[in-house]
Structure 1
Amino acid sequence: MTNIQIRKYRDDDAEAVKEIFTLGMSEHVPSSFTHMLKQPPTQMLLMCTFCALMASSKSFLLPILAITLLLAGMRQVVVYMFNKYIDTTLRKDLDRISEAYLQQKDSCFWVAEIDGRVVGTVSCTTNEKAPACLELKRMAVRRSYRGMGIAKVLCRTVADFTRDRGYAAVVLYTSVVQTDAQKLYEHMGYQKIREFVVPELLAKVMNFTLFEYRLDLQRDGKRD
C-alpha cells in the first residue's frame, strides 16, 4: 500500500497547493459546459437561432456557422466563470494559507504527501451560518493519484479535527458537476441537506446548483 503522509501545510507547499487547486477546478469546465447545454433556456436559444437563420437565409451554412460560434461563446463563458472563481479563491485564502487557516482558531490546512510530493489538500474552518459545525474546504487530489484512498484519509483528518474540538458536525459544499466528489462524501457518511443555485447571473443562467452536505459526528462515532 502506498505510504500516504498527512501533515500540516508549510509555506514551501504554496505553489503545489495552488497548482492542485487550479488544475482540479479547471477539470470541471467540460462537464459544466455539458450541464449548460442541457438546460431548457440554452436549448431554446440554440433552436430559435437556428430556425430564425434558416428561415431568413434558406441555407444550412449560415445557421450552422452561427450555432458553432454561439457554442464557442458559451464555452468561453464557462471558462470565464471558473477562472473568476479560481482567481477569487487564490486572493481570498490560497495566497495566504498560514494567515487564513493556521493562525485562526479552530482552523487548519493539511496536505497529503507521497514520496516527498504534495498530491492532495484539504482545509477546515469555522462556518458562520452553522456555528456548531466546522466546514471542510479546498479538498483536491492530483488526477494521477486518485483512486488510492487519499481523499478518504483527508476526509477523516477533518472529521477527527472537528470532533477533537467539540463540534457536532462537518459541513461542506460541492457543485452539481462534481459527481465524483458527491459519491465520495456520501460514501464517507455525509448527508445532502440542501441545494441552491449560486446567486450570480451566469450561474443562474446555467442553473449551476450547489449542494450542502453534513456529517453528524455523533452518528459517525456510533457507526464506527
Structure 2
Amino acid sequence: MTEYLSDLTQRLHYSLPTAQLIESKMPLTPWLKLWLLNDSNMDRPFSPEEVRVIWEAPPYWCFCWASGQIMAKYIEEHPETVRDKVVVDFGAGSGIAAIAAAKFGAKRVIACDIDEDAIMSCKANAELNNVGIEFSDDFFELIQKMDTPDIILAADVLYDRDNIPLLTELRKNCQSILMADSRVKNLDVDGYQAFSEGHAETLPPLERFDEFKHVIIYAAQGTAKE
C-alpha cells in the first residue's frame, strides 16, 4: 500500500470504519483507474454514528460520479481540448478529469478542491495512473499566483445550486471552460452553451441517484482578457 493510499484509507475510516478502497477500472475509459469504495461495504445497515458522519462529511471522493466519467471520455475523444494547454480541474473530487487531461497531453494540470480528503484522493489516483499533477486547495489563491489557465474543467460542481454563481467567476479567470453536470437540466448562465451529452452510472452504483445518469457538457469562453 502506497503512502497516499494508506492516508486515504485512514481518512475514509473516519466516516466508514470498516470500508475498503479497491482499484477500479472505469467502464467508459478502461485506461483510467481510481481508488473507489468497495461496493460490498454498501450492502449492510449503517450504524447511527456512521449515518451521522456520512451526512456531515460525505466521502464523495471515493465515488466516481457520472459527470466526471463523461468528461474523461470527452477528453479521450477530443484530446485537442487539453493538448499542450495549462489545465485546472476545479472541484476535482477523485481527480478523474485532471488525470484524463494529463493522459492526453496537457502541458500542466492542477487539481483543485477545497476538501483535504479530495486532494488526498487526487494524489492517490494520480499515482495509480502514473501521471504528474499539481494540487491546490484554494482556487482563487492559485489563480493569483499563475498566468491565466488555458482551460478550466469542472465536473459535477453543481450538486449545490448555490454554486451556480461560481460559473461566472470561473469565466473571469481562464481562456475557456468545459463543464459537465447531471443535476441542472436547463442551465441558464451567461456564456455557457450545451453542446454534448452522455450517460454513465455512479460508481460504485447508488440506485437512488438514477436520475443523475444523464450528463450534459457545456462550454464557455473565458473573459479573463476582457
TM over 0.5: no
Larger C-alpha radius of gyration, 1 or 2?
A: 1
TM-score, normalising length: structure 1: 0.31
